[in-house]
Amino acid sequence: MNELREKTITKITQQQFDLLVIGGGITGAGIALDAASRGLKVICIDKNDFGWGTSSRSTKLVHGGLRYLKNGEFNMIRKVGRERAIVYKNAPHIVTPQRMILPMQRKGTFSPWLTKTALTIYDLLAGVYKHERNYKMTTDEVVKAEPSINKNGLLGGVAYYEYKCDDSRLVIETLKKAVEYGATVLNYCELKSWTYANNSITGGECLDIINNKQLCISATKTVNATGPWVDNMRLTESTTVKKRLHLTKGVHLVFSKNDLPITNALYFDVSDGRMIFAIPKRHVVYVGTTDTSYSHSIDNPLVSNNDITYLCNAVNNRFNVELNKDDIIYAWAGLRPLIYKSGKNNPSELSRKDEIFTSETGLLSIAGGKLTGYRLMAKEIVDKVEKELSKIQKRDLVKCSTRNIKLSGGDFDGEINTDTLIYINDIKYDEAKQTGVEVEYFKELFYRYGSNIDEITNKAYELKKPGNNWKDIWLEAEIWYSVNYEFTVSPVDFLIRRTSIPMFNPELISDEFLTKVNTLFVKYLLNYTETVQELKNKISLQSVLLKVE
């Protein structure tokens, strides 16, 4: 427990909210920001950590909507392409343009000619910047770029751009900005039952999981933004609703670059007609995803041997490598909350569109969609909420303005692009280097915290004492920031969702490092008592692998 959380809980018990949002994934976070920026008194809760659900387990791309081309959904491409540019503009520190090579394969999903034409249409519809438009690559160019690629049947390739994004940080930065606008947010707070007046929902009875205490949240309107849990929540509320979601599981595996030596991101064919990504990041490469119908525990989707075999075979066929289960460094499994469509059983055919369901008691539920379109989903539902509130409260309607709201950490002056960010990073490093911090270490933090890096730098200066090791100082400054500004209540939140260290900086994980992290949480969190061994178990690869199949 920390001061931030204590204050939040006191506020909750004293306030009547306009809007209660259940679910602190990207959908709930987006709604909280939109509502708060329109002046609504909003609260967003999550039963686990923010971003713990699907929103930290995606492919981590802000897409331009290429997949919609296959189904001729041209409007969708236009919409998603525009949204991608907005997300980049508002959070440039965590969204990065990434060249993607699409190798062409004899008997592949698309012919080279069709792919080039399709990508050109896509560039125009999605409003892709000139310097990011697609171009053809010869077989030699593809092989030169990726010497480990299997040349059998290779017919050259096409390069195009996707945007990499730290998904769980997108959630956190959105929530931090929502709080700046006056939103109340609380993680580890589970909605247990609903409260009603005159047959309308008036909020819910919740459990503050950290303190094991009941909390009653009163709100005029309630939105269920619980992603894969949306149907479960609706079923507890009304006896007349039918299941509307079709959950599919998507798995990603992380390998060392020593075992999968690629330097470019690639999107390539798999023999079953699907396509998967291989994306390098620092010293590792992550590969995914699978797409299989799912009906087991929503709280704990795990990686099965079939998932591993499928992804390893796909990579081994595409590249001259021999990966197997023993080479996996880390893995994650997420659930897509897709909208059920009668007659469509193939997960890849299901639409990624979002939908809103309204119950007789006034509960609004939103599901489907993508990380990329979260802002538009939020706008759609807050428009609805506002209209209904305006009838009750006689308040004027306020237009959505999130298009121009920079997320926390994205508060830079002027137009930001890759080059200006490099320049700002250099300036910020100059301000920080007297603490002894190394250039590369600092850069990693700058692209994690963006304009908020100053808070961490100031703390590092405050902690600097003669003889102190700079790495210890910066780790402490980061954990201090995480606990006090990012709603972090455990080292697992910090490691998995604030920093992604086990996935993308696995070389940092050692007994000594985890002991330091644990000790700092004991220092900064009241009543924190977990042991290092418990922490190790929770972040281990074993914890995400299915044991019995």
Among 32, 36, 44, 45, binds ligand FAD (CB under 6 A): 45
Q: How far is the CB of 35 from ligand FAD (least distance, A)?
A: 15
- What is the C-alpha separation between 37 and 398, in angstroms, rounded? 9
Q: How far is the CB of 60 from ligand FAD (least distance, A)?
A: 6
If binding is defined by CB under 6 A, does position 502 make contact with ligand FAD? no
CA angle 193/233/372 to nearest 5° reads 130
If binding is defined by CB under 6 A, does position 190 make contact with ligand FAD? yes
Q: Binding string to ligand FAD for residues 298 to 337, with x set by CB under 6 A, is what?
A: ------------------------------------xxxx
Largest CA distance in the chain: 71
If binding is defined by CB under 6 A, does position 452 make contact with ligand FAD? no
- What is the C-alpha separation between 309 and 301, in angstroms, rounded? 17
* Nearest of 172, 457, 502 to residue 491 by alpha carbon: 502
Q: How far is the CB of 189 from ligand FAD (least distance, A)?
A: 7
Residue 12 host element (H or E): helix 3-14
If binding is defined by CB under 6 A, does position 98 make contact with ligand FAD? no
Residue 158 host element (H or E): strand 154-165
* Binders of ligand FAD in range 457-486 (CB under 6 A): none
If binding is defined by CB under 6 A, does position 46 make contact with ligand FAD? yes
If binding is defined by CB under 6 A, does position 191 make contact with ligand FAD? yes
If binding is defined by CB under 6 A, does position 52 make contact with ligand FAD? yes
Nearer to ligand FAD, 352 or 459 (CB): 352
If binding is defined by CB under 6 A, does position 229 make contact with ligand FAD? yes
Cα separation values, 435 from 162, 308, 412, 455, 487, Å: 36, 44, 23, 14, 26
If binding is defined by CB under 6 A, does position 79 make contact with ligand FAD? no
Residues in Cβ contact with 300 at an 8 Å cutoff, skipping those fewer than 6 apart? none
Considering only the stretches 43-51, 127-135, 194-202, 485-493, report the one whose residues sit in contact with ligand FAD under the rule CB under 6 A. Answer: 43-51
Helices and strands in the chain, H and E counts: 18, 18
* Binders of ligand FAD in range 332-371 (CB under 6 A): 334-337, 369-371
Q: Binding string to ligand FAD for residues 242 to 281, with x set by CB under 6 A, is what?
A: --------x-------------------------------
Nearer to ligand FAD, 284 or 338 (CB): 338
If binding is defined by CB under 6 A, does position 539 make contact with ligand FAD? no
Among 2, 105, 134, 226, binds ligand FAD (CB under 6 A): 226
Nearer to ligand FAD, 277 or 442 (CB): 277
Instruction: Using CB under 6 A, count the residues that bind ligand FAD.
Output: 38
| Residue at token pair 């995914």 | 288
Cα separation values, 358 from 129, 234, 365, 385, Å: 39, 10, 6, 11
Among 4, 9, 34, 53, binds ligand FAD (CB under 6 A): 53
* Nearest of 488, 520, 514 to residue 502 by alpha carbon: 514
Count of C-beta atoms within a 10 Å radius of residue 547: 7
Nearer to ligand FAD, 165 or 517 (CB): 165
Angle subtended by helix axes 470-485 and 453-463, to nearest 10: 130
Among 12, 21, 61, 201, binds ligand FAD (CB under 6 A): 61
If binding is defined by CB under 6 A, does position 63 make contact with ligand FAD? yes
If binding is defined by CB under 6 A, does position 26 make contact with ligand FAD? yes
Among 8, 25, 385, 486, binds ligand FAD (CB under 6 A): 25
* Nearest of 172, 210, 187, 188 to residue 481 by alpha carbon: 172
Residue type, 531: T
If binding is defined by CB under 6 A, does position 64 make contact with ligand FAD? no
| Residue at token pair 């599981």 | 249
248 SS3 class: strand
If binding is defined by CB under 6 A, does position 54 make contact with ligand FAD? yes
Cα separation values, 12 from 8, 137, 276, 485, Å: 6, 57, 44, 18
If binding is defined by CB under 6 A, does position 228 make contact with ligand FAD? yes
Strands (E), 166-291: 184-186, 189-197, 200-208, 213-224, 245-256, 265-269, 275-281, 284-288
Among 58, 220, 490, 500, binds ligand FAD (CB under 6 A): 58
Which residue ranges make up the site for ligand FAD (CB under 6 A)? 22-28, 45-48, 52-55, 57-61, 63, 190-191, 225-229, 250, 289, 334-337, 369-372
